[in-house]
């Protein structure tokens, strides 16, 4: 139950963030303007089989379905980690957050149900 509650809260944050940005996104699109990212420095790998943002998030061979969102001045990342890209019983979903733009990360939760997620 605790893990399910965390997932619901995470997606609630995501949906709230999308809803709060809808009006200005719509206004920009109607004005013919477009948003484009500005790179500051080289890209940094946050998640791979050899790299993890937090030591409690033990990444496996396959890390996918990565999602990120900023909510109330915190950056949240969630991703699926498994021994293979295909369904398996060892699959986990990790959710971490940062309040310093990714310099340090806090573990929010690990979801493990003994089946694929």
Is 95 within 8 Å of 112 (Cβ atoms)?
A: no
Alpha-carbon distance of 69 to 52, in angstroms, equals: 18
For 14-55, write each residue's pLDDT tens digit.
555 555 556 666 776 777 777 677 778 888 888 999 999 999
Burial 50-73 (b: 16+ CB within 10 A, else e): eebbbeebebeeebeeeeebeeee
Overall pTM > 0.85:
no
Q: Is the pLDDT of residue 88 over 70?
A: yes
Q: How confident is the model at residue 79 (pLDDT cuts 50, 70, 90)?
A: very high
Q: What is the dihedral of CA 7, 88, 91, 78, to 10 degrees?
A: -60
pLDDT value of residue 111: 94
Alpha-carbon distance of 97 to 72, in angstroms, equals: 11
């Amino acid at each position: 139950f605790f893990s399910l509650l965390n997932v619901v809260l995470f997606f609630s944050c995501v949906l709230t963030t999308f809803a709060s940005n809808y009006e200005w996104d719509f206004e920009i699109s109607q004005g013919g303007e477009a948003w484009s990212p500005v790179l500051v420095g080289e890209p940094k790998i946050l998640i791979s089989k050899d790299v993890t943002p937090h030591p409690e998030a033990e990444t496996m061979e396959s890390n996918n379905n990565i999602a990120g969102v900023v909510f109330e001045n915190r950056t949240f990342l969630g991703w699926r980690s498994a021994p293979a890209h295909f369904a398996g019983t060892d699959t986990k979903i990790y959710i971490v957050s940062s309040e310093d733009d990714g310099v340090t990360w806090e573990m929010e939760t690990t979801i493990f149900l003994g089946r694929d997620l």
